[in-house]
Amino acid sequence: MRKFFKKFLIIYILIVLIFLSNYNPAFSAQYEKVYFFSIGLQSIINSILENIKSNLNISKEDEYKEKYFKLLKELAQIKIAEQEKTFLESLELIKNKYPNSVEVNNISNRLGIIYVDFEKNIKEGSMVVDHNWILIGKISKIHKKYAEVLSLNYPGIQFNVATLEGKLIGLAKTTGLGYIEVNFTDPNINIKTGDLLITGGNDEIFPKGFLVGEIAKIEKKPSYQKLIIYPLGNFNSDKFIVIQ
């Protein structure tokens, strides 16, 4: 494109010079004007070409960025779909395993403790989940008309967590600050932010296989990984399910 403009400019100058030599008696004076005019015109054309080139590069870069982020989004959606499929498949097995679960009503929620009322007998230490069977906590005390549930928003609850495939990640501990920590995780375990974690079992706290939350942050250390997990349960739900 630039070569075309340069050829066009040269031809244009030659035509102007020929025209002036044939029809203008003051050729030498006009030649100088044409010469400086042609330099200015060439400078303008070069500037336009550079702007076009620059705009094309930016446009191309934006196009690549858009395609890149679109691809990342599609990959993330595929990963989420795969995790959801795995979770839903395991969830059906879990529901069939606990057919005697009891529904309870949410009375109030204060400082990580959820107060519920109930119609059927429930036991202390039983796991509590929301309507999607995502982990909420466990029953700590049963009173005459209500029960106390220590939720994952209550500090100091420790239990094992694992990947959706059942790979043990480590010992999780609730902080009371809206997230859960997992310290001293094996640095060689292949996990990343966005992965879903389930209860790992074998801790006499929670049965295995219930969805806990999503990895929000991974802090890499020389000999271990530290995980920050955001619980996914609905702690403000009207009703909960006690796993019996």
pLDDT in tens, 61-88: 666 556 555 655 555 556 666 666 676 7
User: Are 112 and 205 within one domain?
Assistant: yes
pLDDT of residue 116: 97
Residues whose CB falls within 8 Å of the CB of residue 1, separated by 6 or more in sequence, listed in order = 49, 52
Give rounded-to-5 percent helix, strand, coil for the chain. 40, 30, 30
User: Are 53 and 146 within one domain?
Assistant: no
Whose CA is closest to 158, among 180, 127, 179? 180
Whose CA is closest to 152, among 132, 128, 168? 128
What does the alpha-carbon distance between residue 168 and residue 171 come to, in Å, rounded to a whole number?
Answer: 9
User: Are 173 and 191 within one domain?
Assistant: yes
pLDDT of residue 222: 83
User: Are 115 and 59 within one domain?
Assistant: no
What does the alpha-carbon distance between residue 168 and residue 199 come to, in Å, rounded to a whole number?
Answer: 9
From 31, 66, 97, the end of a domain falls on 97
What CATH number should be reported for the domain holding residue 112? 2.40.10.350
Task: Count how many domains the chain has.
Answer: 2
Are 227 and 195 contacting, i.e. CB atoms less than 8 angstroms apart?
Answer: no
User: Are 16 and 113 within one domain?
Assistant: no
86: which 2 tokens?
Answer: 């795995």
Are 124 and 142 contacting, i.e. CB atoms less than 8 angstroms apart?
Answer: yes
User: Are 91 and 122 within one domain?
Assistant: no
pLDDT of residue 74: 59
- By CB atoms closer than 10 A (0-12, 13-18, 19+), residue 174 is buried
Q: Which string of DSSP letters, residue by residue, matches 156-183? A: T-EEEEEETT--EEEEEEE-SSS-EEEE
Which residue range(s) make up the domain with 162?
102-243
Are 140 and 151 contacting, i.e. CB atoms less than 8 angstroms apart?
Answer: no
User: Are 195 and 220 within one domain?
Assistant: yes
User: Are 84 and 114 within one domain?
Assistant: no
Residues of the chain with pLDDT under 70: 1-85, 87
Instruction: Compute CA distances 100 → 95, 202, 225, whole Å.
Output: 9, 22, 38
pLDDT of residue 210: 93
From 48, 74, 97, the end of a domain falls on 97
Q: How far is CA 84 from the centre of its chain?
A: 15
User: Are 126 and 222 within one domain?
Assistant: yes
pLDDT of residue 216: 94
SS3 (DSSP) at 118: coil
User: Are 128 and 152 within one domain?
Assistant: yes
User: Are 109 and 90 within one domain?
Assistant: no
SS3 (DSSP) at 148: strand
Mean pLDDT over the full length of the chain:
78
User: Are 163 and 191 within one domain?
Assistant: yes
From 79, 97, 115, the end of a domain falls on 97
pLDDT of residue 184: 81
What does the alpha-carbon distance between residue 179 and residue 214 come to, in Å, rounded to a whole number?
Answer: 10
